[in-house]
Chain A
Amino acid sequence: MRQLRAFWIRLKGLRRTSKADAEFAAELESHLQIHIDENLRAGMTPSEARRQATIQLGGVEQTKQVYRERQTLPWLETLGQDIRFSLRMLQKSPGFTFVAIITLALGIGANTAIFSIVNGVLLNPLPFPHPEQLVVLHASKPNFEFGSISYPNFQDWRKDNHTFSSMAVSRGYYFSLTGMGLAEQLDGQFMTSDFFETLGVKPLLGRTFTLAEEQPGAGPVVLISEGLWRRKFSASPNVLGRTLSLEGRNLTIIGVVPSSFQLAVWSMGSRDVYVPIGQWKNPALTERGDGLGIRGIGRLKPGVSLDQANADMARVSRNLAASFPDVDKGTTAKLVPLKEQMIGDVRPYLLVLTAAVGFVLLIACVNVASLMLARSTARMREFAVRTALGASRNRLIRQLLTESLMLAIVAGVLGLLLAAWGTHAGLKLLPQTLPRADEIGLDYRVLLFTMAISLLAGTVFGIAPALKSSQADPQTALKEGGRGASGTRHRAQSAFVIVEMATALVLLIGAGLMVRSLARLWSVDPGFNPHNVLTFGYTLPPSMINANPDAIRAAYRNFDDRLAATTGIEAVSQSWGGMPMEGDDDTFFWLDGQPKPATTDAMNGTLIYNVGPDYLRVMGIPLLRGRFFGTHDDEKAPYVGVIDTVFANKYFPSQNPIGKRLLLDGDTRKLEVVGVVGHVKQWGLDADDTRPLQVQLYTAWAQTPDDFTRLAPSGIDEVVRYKGDLTGVTEAIRRTIGQMSNEQMIYNPGTMESAISDSLAQRRFAMVLLAAFAALALLLASIGIYGVIAYIVGQRTQEIGIRMAFGAHRIDVLRLMLWEGMRLALTGVVIGIASGLALTQLMSKMLYGVSATDPLTFCGVAALLTSVALAACYFPARKAAHVDPMQAFRSE
Chain B
Amino acid sequence: MAEKTDVWQGTLALMVLKTLESMGSLHGYGIARRIEQTSGELISLNYGTLYPALLKLEQEGAISSEWGTSENNRKAKFYKLTRVGRKQIQKESQDWQQATAILARFLTPAEEA
Contacts and interface: CB of A to CB of B under 8 A. Distances in A.
Interface in A12-46: 24, 26-28, 30-31, 33-35, 37
A58 B51 contact: no
A33 B73 CA distance: 11
A30 B49 contact: no
Interface string B9-27: 0000000000000000001
A69 B59 CA distance: 13
Contacts of A33: 74
B48 A34 contact: no
Interface string B56-84: 10011110000000101011110000001
B55 interface: yes
B52 A27 contact: no
A6 B27 CA distance: 22
A434 to B, nearest CB: 60
Contact of A59 (B28, B48, B70): B48
Contacts of A286: none
A3 B56 CA distance: 10
Nearest to A63: B48
Nearest to B45: A56
A719 B28 CA distance: 102
B29 A35 contact: yes
A66 B61 contact: no
Contacts of A59: 48
B77 A63 contact: no
Contacts of A796: none
Contacts of A35: 29, 47
Contacts of B30: 34
Nearest to B73: A37
A5 B60 contact: yes
> Which of B59, B62, B77 has the most A CB atoms < 10 Å from its CB?
B59
A10 interface: yes
A58 B74 contact: no
Contacts of A31: 27-29, 47, 76
Nearest to B84: A2
A27 B48 contact: no
Contact of B27 (A30, A56, A63): A30
A34 B59 contact: no
A67 interface: yes
A69 B48 CA distance: 13
Nearest to B60: A2
A705 B47 CA distance: 113
Nearest to B28: A31
A57 interface: yes
B59 A58 contact: no
Interface string A61-82: 0110011011100000000000
A9 B59 contact: yes
Contacts of B61: 2, 5
Nearest to A66: B52
A30 B55 contact: no
B55 A56 contact: no
Contacts of B84: 2
Interface residues of B, number: 23
A30 B74 contact: yes
A5 B82 CA distance: 15
B46 interface: yes
B77 A56 contact: no
Contacts of B59: 5-6, 9-10, 70
A19 to B, nearest CB: 13
A596 B51 CA distance: 112
A71 B76 contact: no
A803 B62 CA distance: 75
A62 B76 contact: no
Contacts of A6: 56, 59-60
Contact of A27 (B28, B46, B70, B72): B28
Contact of B72 (A37, A67, A71): A37
A24 B55 CA distance: 10
Contacts of B55: 67, 70-71
B48 A30 contact: no
B77 A30 contact: yes
A58 B6 CA distance: 14
Contacts of A26: 75
A66 B47 CA distance: 12
A56 B51 contact: no
A34 B27 contact: yes
Contacts of B56: 6, 70
Contacts of B49: 58, 66
A56 B70 contact: no
A37 B74 contact: yes
Contact of A67 (B29, B47, B51): B51
> Which of A31, A33, A37, A59 has the most B CB atoms < 10 Å from its CB?
A31
A718 to B, nearest CB: 86
A6 to B, nearest CB: 4
Contacts of A37: 72, 74
A678 B93 CA distance: 104
B91 to A, nearest CB: 11
A3 B52 CA distance: 15
B15 to A, nearest CB: 17
A85 to B, nearest CB: 27
Contacts of A2: 60-62, 84
B20 to A, nearest CB: 16
A62 B48 contact: yes
Interface in B20-44: 27-30
Contacts of A28: 51
A27 B47 CA distance: 13
Contacts of A24: 51
A26 B55 CA distance: 15
B77 A27 contact: yes
Contacts of A63: 48, 51
B10 to A, nearest CB: 14
> Which of B46, B48, B52, B84 has the most A CB atoms < 10 Å from its CB?
B48
A30 B76 contact: yes
Contacts of B62: 2
Contact of B52 (A9, A34, A57, A67): A67
Contacts of B70: 30, 34
B59 to A, nearest CB: 4
A9 B30 CA distance: 26
A66 B74 contact: no
Given A5-B60, A10-B59, A66 B48 contact: yes
Given A27-B28, A31-B29, A35-B29, A58 B48 contact: yes
A801 B62 CA distance: 71
Contacts of A56: 46-47
Nearest to A62: B48
A31 B47 CA distance: 9
Interface string A721-759: 000000000000000000000000000000000000000
Contacts of A34: 27, 29-30, 70, 72, 74, 76
B82 to A, nearest CB: 12
B23 to A, nearest CB: 15
Nearest to B58: A9
Given A56-B46, A58-B47, A66-B48, 17 more contacts: A2-B60, A6-B56, A6-B59, A6-B60, A10-B59, A28-B51, A30-B77, A33-B74, A34-B27, A34-B72, A56-B47, A57-B47, A58-B48, A59-B48, A66-B49, A70-B52, A70-B56
20 contacts: A2-B60, A2-B62, A3-B60, A5-B61, A10-B59, A27-B76, A30-B27, A31-B27, A31-B28, A34-B27, A34-B76, A37-B74, A57-B48, A58-B49, A63-B48, A66-B48, A66-B52, A69-B52, A70-B52, A71-B55
Interface of B: 27-30, 46-49, 51-52, 55-56, 59-62, 70, 72, 74-77, 84
When A and B form their complex, which 4 residue pairs have the shortest distance between CB atoms, in order from nearest? A58-B48, A63-B48, A6-B59, A70-B52
